[in-house]
Amino acid sequence: MEGGQWKSVRTLPTWVQRREEEDEDEPVRPLSQISTPPTVHRRPPERSAHDADRETAPFTVSPVPETASRWRTFAYGSLVPPPTSHSEKLKKGDNWLDEQGVLDGPWLASSRDPENDGGSNDDDLLFVSAKTRRRWYKRIYIMLLNNPMVPLTFRAITWTLSLVALALAVSVFQHSNEFEVPQKPSTIMAIVVDVFALIYLIWITYDEYSGKPLGLRSPKAKMKLIMFDLLFIIFDSANLSLAFDTLFDTRWSCRRQAVGHENENARPKTVEPICTRQRALASFLFLALCGWVLTFTISVFRYASIVLLLVERVSKA
């Protein structure tokens, strides 16, 4: 202490030159002349006789008290034991490669060749695995039940087939009158049934997309509309049976009677335009019947899935 005053405490080391202490007339010393901090030599820690035992000891997690946080429990459970210098190395034999499968064959040979060990007859169908086929079936099933365009597509196909069948029936009816061939019940029934079918398909499609949904409509009313499809299936089946009976009837224009018949002059002549249209009529009646069956099946499944969904919601509520 000089003059009764304390000197300011120096907070920087002695080898650091402060700008305030420099004199303006004193030249700046180079870095080589500045004293460097002393090197501290530390003695390495000595190894204890129990270090080897401590490294080979198994890693155990200390129990966590019940009052601890659940995140602390999670952190302790996910700890990885520290590596040790004396850790044992896993030694495997040369036979572990045999457990990996056949590696000498071509790529994906086991799934395409049924003669290999990993192949199967189910996986060889179109080179598609059974898992992929199950995934496709599930997607198609969900699309048929949930896609709103599915009923419209099937009813449009059925409407088109019924329209073509109606046109062929009218053509057969006109040619029968022109060639003075007796009319058959299949032609008249096809005209009557297909006329009502075309009107019904338009009405049921409009009602399905613009009417009240099943939750706001009585289930019985919706089921009555679906049962109309079953009615047309019955009539189309009978019409198809009559069409094939007419096509192979020996008393009509498409089949000649036996040559040794007693009244050979009375047998009808074969009219090719009528026979061609009758064959086409029988074919389109069969396709229309398939369309009616598919439409009815999809409608029933969609109706059942919606009813089950409504029942589950009511039970949960």
Reported as a single tens digit per residue, the pLDDT across 155-201 is 999 999 999 999 999 999 999 888 888 888 999 999 999 999 999 99
Residue by residue, what is the 3-state secondary structure of the chain? Answer: CECCECCCCCCCCCCCCCCCCCCCCCCCCCHHHCCCCCCCCCCCCCCCCCHHHHHHCCCCCCCCCCCCCHHHHHHHHCCCCCCCCCCCCCCCCHHHHHHHCCCCCCCCHHHHCCCCCCCCCHHHHHHCCHHHHHHHHHHHHHHHHHCCHHHHHHHHHHHHHHHHHHHHHHHHHHHHHHCCCCCCHHHHHHHHHHHHHHHHHHHHHHHHHHCCCCCCCCHHHHHHHHHHHHHHHHHHHHHHHHHHHHHCCCCCCCCCCCCCCCCHHHCCCCCHHHHHHHHHHHHHHHHHHHHHHHHHHHHHHHHHHHHHHHHHHHHHC
Assigned token pair, 22: 């420099």
State the pLDDT at residue 10.
60
303: left (phi over 0), alpha (psi -120 to 50) or beta: alpha
d(C-alpha 40, C-alpha 44), whole Å: 12
In the chain, the N- to C-terminal Cα span, in Å, equals: 90
Closest among 151, 152, 156, 189 to 170, alpha carbons compared: 189
State the pLDDT at residue 157.
96
Q: What are the residue ranges in the chain where pLDDT is below 50?
A: 24-25, 86-88, 90-91, 110-120, 122-123, 258-262
Token pair 């007859």 in the structure block, residue: 121
State the pLDDT at residue 254.
80
State the pLDDT at residue 141.
87
pTM for the complete prediction? 0.57
State the pLDDT at residue 1.
52
Residue 291 class from Cβ within 10 Å (0-12 exposed, 13-18 middle, 19+ buried)? buried
Q: Residue 207 in contact with residue 225, Cβ under 8 Å? A: yes
State the pLDDT at residue 260.
45
Question: 246-274 b/e with 16+ CB inside 10 Å = b?
Answer: bbeeeebbbeeeeeeeeeeeeebeebeeb
